[in-house]
Amino acid sequence: MSKKLHTAALAAAFSLITGACTGLPPNPSAHQEAAAEAAKPAGTNAGMMKPLLERRDAIIATGYAVIGVQNNKNAPQQRILAIRAAKIDAYRSLAEQVYGLYLDANTTVSEQTVLSDTFRTRVEGVIYGATITSINPLNNDTYEVTLSLDRSAVNDMRLLYLDHVASKRR
């Protein structure tokens, strides 16, 4: 590689890296201010669209679990475990709605043919204040649990999350 090309590549990489950082607020309180601004009623953010979650009074999540696969031979205990698993699945769904979902995907192509396509997802967050709306058996082998989370709790959790992220950067 020529020296000119190498220098140009380094300059481009540097400007890309430093340019990507310019959108970040300079301090953690800027994160809080941005989140508080986003949480204000529509009239105060005239030119900005409100996120979908902020247009609802509460967010709803449903989780499911199969009774027969629970690790117990006692049928009543399997039902209790299935309800618990469905509740955890609903909490995961709430966390996805509040914090978003991290998606890592890889596709391998050779000779214009897809050889493999893999997806990994991860969600991380703290959910508090959710209430159980319903616990229903869907059939003889599945339970459904529905949770509801008030919008004010969602806004509180977002601010706590931003504080947590900001403290990791220090």
How confident is the model over 81-112, as pLDDT tens digits? 999 999 999 999 999 988 888 899 999 999 88
Half-sphere exposure of 68 (CA within 13 A, CB side): 4
pLDDT digits (tens, 9 = 90+) for 128-169: 889 999 999 998 899 999 999 988 787 777 788 788 888 888
Buried b vs exposed e over 109-126: b needs ≥16 C-beta within 10 Å? eeeeeeeeeeeeeebebe
CA–CA distance, 152 with 53 (Å, rounded to integer) = 11
CA–CA distance, 98 with 73 (Å, rounded to integer) = 36
Domain boundaries, the chain: 27-169
Cα Dmax for the chain: 74
What's the CA angle centered on 138, arms 132 and 140, to 5 degrees? Answer: 125
**Which segment of 1-5, 20-24, 152-156 scores lowest on mean pLDDT?**
20-24
Residue 127's SS3 state is: coil
Task: Enumerate residues 6+ apart whose C-beta is below 8 A from 140.
Answer: 67
Length of the chain (residues): 170
DSSP 60: E
Specify whether the CB–CB gap between 39 and 77 falls below 8 A.
Answer: no
Q: Predicted confidence band at 76 (pLDDT cuts at 50, 70, 90)?
A: very high
